[in-house]
Amino acid sequence: MSDIVIYHNPACGTSRNTLAMIRNAGIEPHVVEYLKTPPSRQMIISLIERMGTTPRALLREKDTPFAQLGLGNPLLGNDQLIDAMMEHPILINRPIVVSPLGVKLCRPSEAVLDLLDSPQRAPFIKEDDQVGAGVAMTVAIRPVALEDAAAIAGIYAHHVLHGTATYETVPPSVAATREKIEHITAKDWPFLVACEGEALVGYCYATQFRDRPAYAYSCEDSIYVSVDHARRGIGRALLAALLTAATDQGFRQMVAVIGGAEPASIALHSAFGFEHAGRLPAMGWKAGRWRDSVYMQTALGAGSSTSPAAH
Ligand SMILES: CC(C)(COP(=O)(O)OP(=O)(O)OC[C@H]1O[C@@H](n2cnc3c(N)ncnc32)[C@H](O)[C@@H]1OP(=O)(O)O)[C@@H](O)C(=O)NCCC(=O)NCCS
């Protein structure tokens, strides 16, 4: 937890992008879903003052009862506008972010960068958008579709046949890959792909660490980038997005089980604050040698500081 607060509406893309950028700076903010738990009147007044704005400027018109309530009437005073926000919190524009560096309505979402004292850990990719933050790359991240199975099977086949990150030795078929996508998405676990134009260049997913019920809040990540697109920031972008998606899903721990103690994977996970959690020697026999498995782990969201019911 940090001293950053976001008044968040999960249904709003700008709000989701802002939250993802905060998390991409390595910060887990206090998330207030203000439609469920609206700020008090005193708090709204204080936020408006600290933003140096007016109640009218904070009012949201789109998809709200703004017109119906006649809030465009310039004769209405600040008190009346705040009354309307109290009665209909959807009228409060979003997302408002409070940090020790200031308070802002973060529209566009990049406005949040002024409120963060640490840099973005990976090229930030807005939902349904191109890579931002001045990175020369045209990769977009989106949820997987069943039609991605062939491209995913192709990327994975290379790592099965030529790498040690996975201990599979025979590349799974496209049909088996489709089944895997179906299985993971049916559980509502995150499965994301990175695309350059029409080409799928990497993918990642998080699955429950082990099946038994008490593991419900611990996940394991898997990330694979096309060998032709390695070392261009795609792994970082995928892992940043996966951390956000897995946190939103309610997972509290993420574990990387790194076959062959692959240096690229260890470096990637270290860059995101994963810590070494153990090394199991000689767990796999691949490419003519015994291979160690390295475990790395990071807490997600509130981690173990609250019970899962608090999510
Ligand atoms: C690990 C993997 C996902 C990284 O993807 P990528 O897109 O090439 O990685 P990025 O370009 O985003 O690099 C991120 C960081 O990872 C590390 N890294 C990536 N490739 C590396 C390599 N070959 N050697 C050492 N470090 C490497 C670096 O720290 C790098 O940061 P830097 O470029 O600023 O130094 C990719 O190499 C891969 O698919 N490997 C096989 C499967 C695997 O190991 N998956 C992870 C375990 S589930």
- Tell me the per-residue pLDDT of 206-217, one tens digit each, with 9 for 90 and over: 999 999 999 999
Give domain status of residue 178, yes or no: yes
The CA-atom distances, in angstroms, between 287 and each of 130, 223, 291 are: 38, 21, 9
Query: pLDDT tens-digit profile of 73-116?
Result: 888 899 999 999 999 999 999 999 999 999 999 998 889 999 99
Nearest CA residue ID for atom 25, ligand 1: 264
Is residue 121 in a domain?
no
Question: Is 12 a catalytic site residue?
Answer: yes
CA quadruple 34, 35, 41, 46: dihedral sign: positive
Residues 146 and 265 in one domain: yes
Q: For residue 175, give the CATH number of its domain.
A: 3.40.630.30
**Residue nearest (by alpha carbon) to ligand 1 atom 1:** 265
> What is the pTM assigned to this prediction?
0.68
- Comparing CA positions, the residue from 89, 121, 93 lying closest to residue 108 is 93
Question: Within this chain, do residues 156 and 95 fall inside the same structural domain, yes or no?
Answer: no
Residues 177 and 255 in one domain: yes
User: What is each CA distance from 295 to 53, 174, 248, 259, 281, in whole angstroms?
Assistant: 49, 29, 23, 9, 11
Instruction: Among 99, 115, 131, identify where a domain stops.
Output: 115
Cα(200) to centroid of ligand 1, in Å? Answer: 17
- Pocket test of ligand 1: the residue of 231, 238, 255, 294 to mutate, having most ligand atoms within 8 Å of its CB, is 231
Of 12, 106, 195, 204, the active-site residue reads 12
Q: Which two tokens stand for residue 288?
A: 């003519």
Residue 132 maps to a domain: no
Total number of domains constituting the chain: 2
Q: Which domain holds residue 74?
A: 5-115
CA distance 288 to 101: 55
Q: What is the CATH number of the domain that holds 106?
A: 3.40.30.10
Whether 71 is in a domain gets the answer: yes
Which of 98, 106, 114, 139 has its CA nearest to residue 233? Answer: 139
3-state helix, strand, coil in the chain (%, to 5): 35, 25, 40
Same domain as 167, residue 19? no
CA distance 104 to 123: 23
Q: Is the CB of 261 under 6 A from ligand 1?
A: no
Q: Is residue 155 a part of any domain in this protein?
A: yes
Q: Which atom of ligand 1 lies closest to the CA of 232?
A: 11
Cβ-proximal residues to 233 (8 Å cutoff; 6+ apart), any chain: 122, 123, 135, 137, 139
**Is residue 130 situated within a structural domain?**
no
Ligand 1 centroid to residue 240 C-alpha, Å: 13
Note the pLDDT tens digit of each residue in 164-189: 999 999 999 999 999 999 999 999 99
**Residues 96 and 145 placed together within one structural domain of the fold:** no
Domain shared by 85 and 210, yes or no: no
- Residue 36 in contact with ligand 1 by CB distance below 6 A: no
In a domain, 125, yes or no: no
